[in-house]
A and B are shown apart, each in its own frame.
Chain A
Amino acid sequence: MSGGYGGADILHDCNISVDKGEIAVVVGPNGAGKSTAMKALFGMLNLSQGNVTLGGEDITCLSPQERVKKGMAMVPQTNNVFASLTVQENLEMGAFLRRDDIFQTMEHVFELFPILKDKRNQAAGELSGGQRQQVAVGRALMTTPEVLMLDEPTAGVSPIVMDELFERILEVKQTGIAILMVEQNARQALNIADTGYVLVTGKNKFTNTGEALLASPEVRRSFLGG
Chain B
Amino acid sequence: MTDIMNATVLLSNFVIIPVLAYGSQLALGALGVTLVYGILRFANFAHGDLMAFGTMITILVTWWLQSIGVSFGPLPTALLALPVAIVFTIAMALFTDRAVYRFYRRKRSTPAIFVIASIGVMFVLNGIVRFIIGPNDQQFADGERFIIKARSFKHMTGLNEGLAFKVSQGLTIGIVFVLVISLFWFLQNTRTGKAMRAYSDNEDLALLSGIDPEKVVMVTWIITAALATIAGTLYGLDKSFKPFTYFQLLLPFFAAAIVGGIGKPVGAIIGGFVVAFSEISITYAYKKFLKYLVPENWAPEGLVQFLSTDYKFAVSFLILVLVLLIRPMGILKGRVI
Contacts and interface: CB of A to CB of B under 8 A. Distances in A.
B209 A93 contact: yes
Contacts of A81: 202, 205
A79 B202 contact: yes
B208 A64 contact: yes
A92 B194 contact: yes
Interface residues of B, number: 16
A82 B201 contact: yes
A92 B193 CA distance: 12
A83 interface: yes
B331 to A, nearest CB: 15
Interface in B191-219: 191, 194-195, 197-198, 201-202, 204-212
A81 B204 CA distance: 10
Chain B binding surface SS class: helix
A208 interface: no
B327 to A, nearest CB: 18
Contacts of B195: 93, 96
B211 A93 contact: yes
Contacts of A139: 205, 209
Interface in A61-113: 64-65, 68-69, 73-74, 76, 79-85, 89, 92-94, 96-97
Given A82-B202, A83-B202, A76 B197 contact: no
Given A82-B197, A85-B194, A96 B209 contact: yes
B198 A93 contact: yes
Contacts of B191: 92, 96
A42 B209 CA distance: 13
Contacts of A82: 197-198, 201-202, 205-206
Interface string A49-66: 000000000000000110
Contacts of A76: 204-205, 208
A64 B209 CA distance: 9
Contacts, number: 58
Contacts of A80: 205
Nearest to B208: A74
A139 B209 CA distance: 8
Given A82-B197, A92-B194, A65 B202 contact: no
Nearest to B263: A84
Given A85-B198, A92-B194, A93-B194, A64 B205 contact: no
A68 B208 CA distance: 7
Contacts of A93: 194-195, 198, 206, 209, 211
Contacts of B204: 76, 79
A89 to B, nearest CB: 6
A101 to B, nearest CB: 13
A93 B211 CA distance: 8
Given A65-B208, A93-B195, 20 more contacts: A68-B208, A79-B202, A79-B204, A82-B201, A83-B202, A84-B197, A84-B201, A85-B197, A85-B198, A92-B191, A92-B194, A93-B211, A94-B209, A96-B191, A96-B209, A96-B211, A97-B209, A139-B205, A139-B209, A143-B210
24 contacts: A65-B207, A65-B208, A65-B210, A65-B212, A68-B208, A68-B209, A73-B208, A76-B204, A79-B204, A80-B205, A82-B198, A82-B202, A82-B206, A84-B201, A89-B198, A92-B191, A93-B194, A94-B209, A96-B191, A96-B195, A96-B209, A97-B210, A139-B205, A143-B210
- Shortest beta-carbon contacts, A-B, top 4: A97-B210, A82-B201, A93-B198, A68-B210
